[in-house]
């Protein structure tokens, strides 16, 4: 049995969970989330806890068991606390600025990059070299942060680029002249 899938998910007092056919709807103080549940996985709500079970012990069912439990846990965590990812920008003249519904990045290219911010995501730039991505859906927060990072990944020679906070980038030695 899946060790993760076996653990029940506790439902906080200010959160409502509804099961409809093959989907789950979670509503909390920060918002609402919906997710479809695979037909081979069974979800039940009892005594302010959610229990996830599987029909067989096939490899796919075992994988879906733990995955479904963690997705539901992340939904409940998101509507109560929310998720955030911090990015830092390193490089001379590199900066970020939020204006309206877009993030403007100046990363040493001949033009600024305008990134449209998705509706359900909040992007802040408290400093010109810091970006904070917030939201209730962990998957969307991570994907948005990864898209922003992809504009200029940290390079190993000078360390310039956009990186996650506390990300370690291994530096390489440049070309040695004889």
What average pLDDT does the segment 140-151 reach?
96
What average pLDDT does the segment 62-80 reach?
93
Q: Which of 19, 45, 17, 20 is nearest to 32 (CA)?
A: 17
Q: Which two tokens stand for residue 145?
A: 């942060």
* Res 144 pLDDT > 60: yes
Domains along the sequence of the chain with CATH:
3-80 (3.90.930.12), 83-164 (3.90.930.12)
pLDDT of residue 57: 87
How many Å apart are CA 148 and CA 89, to the nearest integer? Answer: 11
* Res 1 pLDDT > 80: no
* Res 164 pLDDT > 80: yes
pLDDT of residue 73: 95
What average pLDDT does the segment 46-63 reach?
90
Mean pLDDT of the chain: 92
* Res 141 pLDDT > 90: yes
Q: What is the pLDDT of residues 97-124, one digit of tens each?
A: 999 899 999 999 999 999 999 999 999 9
Kindly list the strands in the beta sheet with 83-90, ordered across the sheet, starting from the edge strand earlier in the chain: 121-124, 130-135, 83-90, 161-164
How many Å apart are CA 176 and CA 23, to the nearest integer? Answer: 60
* Res 4 pLDDT > 60: yes
Give the residue with greater pLDDT, 177 vs 148.
Answer: 148
């Amino acid at each position: 049995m899946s060790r993760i899938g076996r653990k029940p998910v506790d439902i906080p007092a200010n959160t409502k969970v509804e099961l409809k056919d093959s989907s789950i709807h979670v509503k909390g103080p920060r918002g609402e989330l919906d997710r479809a549940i695979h037909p081979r996985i069974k979800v039940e709500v009892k005594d302010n806890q959610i229990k996830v079970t599987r029909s067989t012990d096939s490899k796919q069912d075992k994988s879906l068991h733990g995955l479904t439990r963690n997705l539901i846990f992340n939904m409940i965590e998101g509507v109560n606390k929310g998720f955030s990812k911090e990015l830092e920008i390193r490089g001379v003249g590199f900066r970020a600025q939020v204006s309206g519904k877009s993030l403007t990045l100046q990363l040493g290219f001949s033009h600024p990059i305008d990134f449209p911010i998705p509706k359900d995501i909040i992007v802040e730039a408290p400093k010109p070299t810091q970006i904070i991505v917030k939201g209730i859906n962990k998957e969307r927060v991570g994907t948005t942060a990864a898209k922003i990072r992809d504009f200029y990944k940290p390079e190993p020679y000078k360390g310039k680029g956009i990186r996650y906070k506390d990300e370690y980038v291994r530096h390489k030695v440049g070309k040695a002249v004889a």
